Structure 1
């Protein structure tokens, strides 16, 4: 089987990882494209001692860390955020490990294989990232979710991180009304809501009015990972792990705050 066929099923998830790592869709996609171009030029850089998914992420991180790739991304014509320009200083290997473990769902052993370190070192990197993330500034959070139990779980996780839930909206209309009452610093949204309305439509309407980071938590990720623009940088698939939601929240706020945005 060709490398292209082996890695194709995992490319949407690698794109998600790249966007979460860089903080923007444009830059994350640019890194993935650069990796694919490198594989076309020299297929031998793709490791054959591990399964294709681990090999794909390992190859991506190797190229991510290379000076040439970062220069190419900077001159590729994509708009670069402040967070991306400071990426080397603000996003060390502990953050890579944390994303691999909590957002991409790799085991500690797989994280170690991808990053080519010992399992103990991978666990330590994840722990160090958690300590950094715990220092994030608290903000107001709007939850758009029509299932009460799931909404309560998300609300609990948000509050455990030190944030304040300003509202839980079950419909498009409730979401817009909540934003009108209190502008959030972060939105967590499902895409299929109670009355048949769309969480995606609600988010698009919110973003037309205010600049706020958004995390989608949905059982239908394929509806968002289509290759069309715009796509979310932060996407959690149901059923979710609490650690994945917490990681995404901290990552989203990290890139938003460091890019100079301010919540009202």
Structure 2
């Protein structure tokens, strides 16, 4: 299989990443082009101990480092508030955050790409999340019928600097809560106290306005059916606190309506 054939499925994604990383489409595309030219000319080799996708991103970063690229030079695209926020995060933290949150790499894969150890990647991600959470502090509605779990989630939300403006244990309580105060984020269980559905509650909320939603549930199979659009953020109980924190950061950062509100 030719080099181009091996890399072709991954090129749209590395272009997406390069654009987000540099804050400018033409700048990002240029670095991808230089990386591909270096590979074609034999100036760079895909590391044999990496998958083709990981290896391509690794070469991209090697090119960036070798050319002394300054990510801030291109400037964020006009009107792209997410890009402006990204450019205010330190470059190394920005890379680790985007590799895991946007591109879906594991911390171990991101470490291979960046040439560091996984613990360094985890530290960089935490730094990026801290910057994001401080800038995007919002009001949160928690839909959860188990008091202990609700209290745990509320504590995590407050640790990130957000405000819990409502808690609900049933569908009706959730709908009533948003009628009194519009949240900037919803954290929802599926099975609620009176047998009502958190899925139905979220559907009714989304009919009124667009808001990022994270489902936290012991029944993920009820959402992962393949029969309807599935949630972007789905956390299975019992959950790890860091998983919830990461999902909150990502949901707020990448949600389109949130970007428009902040513009």
TM-score using structure 2 length = 0.60
Q: Could you tell me how far 1:90 is from its partner in structure 2?
A: 8.0
Q: How many residues align?
A: 199
Larger Rg: 2
User: Does the residue aligned with 2:166 lie in a helix, a strand or coil?
Assistant: strand
**Structure 2 residue 218 is matched with structure 1 residue 219:** yes
Provide the rounded CA distance (Å) in 2 between the counterparts of 1:226 and 1:60: 33
Provide the rounded CA distance (Å) in 2 between the counterparts of 1:62 and 1:236: 29
In the alignment, what sits opposite 1:178?
Answer: 177
In the alignment, what sits opposite 2:42?
Answer: none
Provide the rounded CA distance (Å) in 2 between the counterparts of 1:64 and 1:217: 36
Q: Could you tell me how far 1:100 is from its partner in structure 2?
A: 7.3
Per-residue CA distance 1:41-66 (angstroms, 9 max, x = gap): xxxxx99847xxxx59837967999x
C-alpha RMSD of the superposition = 3.9
Provide the rounded CA distance (Å) in 1 between the counterparts of 2:239 and 2:160: 17
**Structure 2 residue 57 is matched with structure 1 residue 58:** no
**Structure 2 residue 248 is matched with structure 1 residue 249:** yes
Q: Closer, same or farther in 2 for the Cα pair 1:90/1:227, shift >3 Å?
A: farther
Provide the rounded CA distance (Å) in 1 between the counterparts of 2:259 and 2:239: 28
Q: Is the 8 A contact 2:129 2:249 kept in 1?
A: no
Q: Could you tell me how far 1:237 is from its partner in structure 2?
A: 1.8
In the alignment, what sits opposite 1:194?
Answer: 193
Provide the rounded CA distance (Å) in 2 between the counterparts of 1:105 and 1:218: 24
Per-residue CA distance 1:68-100 (angstroms, 9 max, x = gap): xxxxxxxxxxxxx95788898589763563477
Q: Closer, same or farther in 2 for the Cα pair 1:59/1:206, shift >3 Å?
A: farther
Structure 1: unaligned runs, 5 residues or longer: 1-17, 23-45, 66-80
Q: Closer, same or farther in 2 for the Cα pair 1:164/1:87, shift >3 Å?
A: closer
Structure 2: unaligned runs, 5 residues or longer: 1-15, 21-45, 62-78
Q: Is the 8 A contact 1:221 1:235 kept in 2?
A: yes
Provide the rounded CA distance (Å) in 1 between the counterparts of 2:233 and 2:49: 30
